[in-house]
Structure 1
Amino acid sequence: ELGLVADCGVPETRAAVRAAYEAFCSWRGVSAKERSSLLRKWYDLMIQNKDDLARIITAESGKPLKEAQGEVVYSALFLEWFSEEARRIYGDIIYTPTRDRRALVLKQPLGVAAVITPWNFPSAMITRKVGAALAAGCTVVVKPAEHTPFSALALAELANQAGIPPGVYNVIPCSRKKAKEVGEALCTDPLVSKISFTGSTATGKVLLHHAAGSVKRVSMELGGHAPFIVFDSANVDQAVAGAMASKFRNSGQTCVCSN
């Protein structure tokens, strides 16, 4: 037994969304410079604690330690990237049908983003989504895969240490038994403005159906086909080595696994 986490259901999900919405009311007003600084601190803490984070990934997912260490660094780099992008929320001046007028277009944060992530990259899939959301001024509710909740909770602890305000980053771990109802609650809650999901096509279809009722903005990274094409002019030995690495990396559980 690695440890115990909460088995959240619909009431806890609603509470997390409410906390995120209340935090959004103030987080959206935080300056781009300050959001950038907080994300950078979060990145620094990930790098400082990379060995511990890697051990958590290995313990809960079985990923080899060396690969887990690589994932942690990869995960942290998303926060570094978005800490810089937070400063670049520019507007546009565009022409209008009227000759003597111009329109100023400014980007605004949407609100609460629900983030549903898979087990195969339990850290990277979170920072990739959450870093972007926080940089834009949104708050998040993360539902990690039921097999890998500790990575999400560890990131939450480091976010807290970095000074990210309460309610901006929320985690709702749950069992497989409750995953369906929690996902539906996130997709149908009127306080949630955005859904970001990485996982199977079958689950993605269900989430799209639930989100359609309130016309939420949705980002889906689902399953697909990744053919491995070898041309006549290619080095066959190198192609075989590349195919083996692509097919069996992370036990074949990657978004770009050749099939």
Structure 2
Amino acid sequence: MTTVERGPVTSEQAARESKLLAGVPTDLLVGGRWVPSSSEERFAVEDPATGLELTTVADAGVEDGAAALDAAVAAQATWGRTAPRERAEVLRRAFDAVVARTDDLALLMTLEMGKSLAESRGEVTYGAEFLRWASEQAAHVAGRYLPAPDGKQRVLVAKKPAGPCLLITPWNFPLAMATRKIAPALAAGCTVVLKPAAETPLTALLFAQVLQEAGVPDGVVNVVPCTRAGDVTGPLIADPRLRKLSFTGSTAVGKQLLKQAADGVLRTSMELGGNAPFLVFEDADLDAAVEGAMLAKLRNGGEACTSANRFYVHSAVAEDFSRRLAERVAAVKVSRGTEDGAQVGPLINEKGRSKVADLVDDAVSRGARVLTGGSRVEGPGYFYAPTVLADVALGSRLLAEEIFGPVAPVATFDTEDEAVALANDTEYGLVAYAYTGSTARALRLVERLETGMLGINTGVISNPAAPFGGVKQSGIGREGGEEGIEEYLETVYAGIADPWG
């Protein structure tokens, strides 16, 4: 059984962690004020590498959610009329402030989510870019003016803020998922209520404090961590003053939120589950494919909706690819994220680890070979050994379900048609990856694969300047790119009598 490298936590490291945690707000942010929950209840935030409590956070209830929406509604008119350049400057200051706090934000993410410090720093860089991108977009929201075809009117098309928004973010990217939603909302002139995941609320709370320091006015951003999410968000979604809901999380929860949003015909964006295929064709550069597989699979320990979930490799190169990938994966350092050289940390909790273990056991029972890993890791924390499985049988659960862990199952194909059919055989369609030396094939895959995003000869494709989102049951709408800010804008058309008439 794999063991985790666990060096002693030095007194200096422990002191730094304690100092950081002491400076992070742990109350609710409502109307520009940090306040306890109306019930004064709190919940514990745990370090998944140790299973120990880090701190406690105010647990919002129904009244707190209502107060947060009240604050957002009260601030909407003023913020919506704020000059675009002024909103842009606020976002640019927020970008600079986040970059300046990289070390603090990265350590905080590692403590509450488990990823390595290197990955956490990468997330700060990635998350901050949404603030910079949105700041550049804020002053460039454009409408149009043109004569109607019959010449009897002039057509004026304008864009205006959608209004107060409810943003619900997941635990796996606690900073980037917040910036990816908050930044375009603020750029468009919308106020927000943020409900971060209960597993990782601290990063969102520190980010909210940074936004305050950057000059975001009171009530424009409100934050309500809670453990009874449905109790808090349900009344907000039903409130006619709320005009936009953006959610990142599981497809099952997304479906329930869509049903709730339907009653008020609420504008929605849904970034839901994934089941990403990773295709390796016979003409692929295997060195590049293995490198891409490491990134696509082990980024965030596999706890990402964009993680490569199913590896379909041409039978001519499958054995070689699997061997090389297993050698690389076996050499990965598994440890608490604060350890020097840490690459893969713990899973978020025991429930997540048990699911991964069940999926691997199911595949092995159907004949899959374990090339490396395949077991829980001894000791405290929720660690699972990075795993490569070969000869995975079609019908195995981990080819149909989102794994959300460091497991790479490899199955084979013989033709391009077969590869496409296997890749599309899922209700999801968020992202796919493909390695091939043929430009013609790459272009065919763009048209043939049922996915919102496609990485050709690359294992990482998410970019703030590009539209992130999926098709089928992977979601509705896009985040990032020019499309991202459009999700927070309403289109208004005015017909104007012919000025020459």
TM-score (norm 1): 0.96
Aligned mates of 1:239, 1:131 — CA distance in 2? 34
Pick one of 228, 232, 235 that aligns with 1:182: 232
3-state SS of the aligned residue for 1:58? helix
**Aligned residue number for residue 168 of structure 2:** 116
**Aligned residue number for residue 51 of structure 1:** 103
In the alignment, is the contact (CA less than 8 A) between 1:14 and 1:189 conserved in 2?
no
Bigger radius of gyration among the two: 2
3-state SS of the aligned residue for 1:2? strand
Pick one of 66, 74, 78 that aligns with 1:22: 74
Comparing 93-102 with 217-226, greater Cα deviation is found at 93-102
Aligned mates of 1:230, 1:185 — CA distance in 2? 47
How far residue 95 of structure 1 moved from its aligned partner, in angstroms, is 4.1
**Aligned residue number for residue 157 of structure 1:** 209
**Aligned residue number for residue 10 of structure 1:** 62
**Aligned residue number for residue 186 of structure 2:** 134
Structure 1 residue identity aligned to 2:186: L
Structure 1 residue identity aligned to 2:69: V
Aligned mates of 2:297, 2:95 — CA distance in 1? 30
Matches within 5 A, 1:12-91: 12-91=64-143
**Aligned residue number for residue 271 of structure 2:** 221
**Aligned residue number for residue 199 of structure 1:** 249
* CA deviation map 1:204-239 (0-9, x unaligned): 000001100000000000012211111121123432
Shift in alpha-carbon separation, 1:254–1:95, aligned structure 2, 3 A: farther
* CA deviation map 1:62-96 (0-9, x unaligned): 11111101111111111011011001011112442
Identity %: 51
How far residue 5 of structure 1 moved from its aligned partner, in angstroms, is 1.3
Number of residues of Structure 1 aligned to a counterpart in Structure 2 = 257
Structure 1 residue identity aligned to 2:99: I
**Aligned residue number for residue 239 of structure 1:** 289
**Aligned residue number for residue 477 of structure 2:** none
Aligned mates of 1:213, 1:33 — CA distance in 2? 36
Structure 2 residue identity aligned to 1:204: G
Comparing 244-253 with 60-69, greater Cα deviation is found at 244-253
Structure 1 residue identity aligned to 2:270: M
* CA deviation map 1:115-153 (0-9, x unaligned): 000011000001011000000000010000001111111
Comparing 189-198 with 87-96, greater Cα deviation is found at 87-96
How far residue 97 of structure 1 moved from its aligned partner, in angstroms, is 4.8
3-state SS of the aligned residue for 2:305? coil
Structure 2 residue identity aligned to 1:186: L
Aligned mates of 2:165, 2:293 — CA distance in 1? 36
Comparing 93-102 with 179-188, greater Cα deviation is found at 93-102
Aligned mates of 1:190, 1:10 — CA distance in 2? 16
In the alignment, is the contact (CA less than 8 A) between 2:201 and 2:225 conserved in 1?
yes
In the alignment, is the contact (CA less than 8 A) between 2:59 and 2:225 conserved in 1?
yes
Aligned mates of 2:78, 2:294 — CA distance in 1? 49
Aligned mates of 2:287, 2:89 — CA distance in 1? 47
Q: Which has the higher contact order (CA 8 A, sep 6+)?
A: 1
Structure 2 residue identity aligned to 1:102: R
The reply on whether 1:148 has 2:200 as its aligned counterpart is: yes
Shift in alpha-carbon separation, 1:241–1:73, aligned structure 2, 3 A: closer
Aligned mates of 2:62, 2:54 — CA distance in 1? 25
Comparing 181-190 with 3-12, greater Cα deviation is found at 181-190
* CA deviation map 1:142-181 (0-9, x unaligned): 0000011111111110111111100000100011xx1121
In the alignment, is the contact (CA less than 8 A) between 2:65 and 2:233 conserved in 1?
no
Aligned mates of 2:291, 2:187 — CA distance in 1? 39
TM-score (norm 2): 0.50
Query: RMSD across aligned C-alpha pairs, in angstroms?
Result: 1.2
Bigger fraction of residues in strand: 2
In the alignment, is the contact (CA less than 8 A) between 2:106 and 2:124 conserved in 1?
yes
Runs of 4+ with deviation above 4 angstroms: none
Unpaired stretches in structure 2, ≥5 consecutive residues:
1-52, 310-501
In the alignment, is the contact (CA less than 8 A) between 1:186 and 1:192 conserved in 2?
yes
Pick one of 247, 251, 258 that aligns with 2:301: 251
Aligned mates of 2:153, 2:86 — CA distance in 1? 34
Aligned mates of 1:2, 1:40 — CA distance in 2? 31
Aligned mates of 1:138, 1:79 — CA distance in 2? 15
How far residue 186 of structure 1 moved from its aligned partner, in angstroms, is 2.7
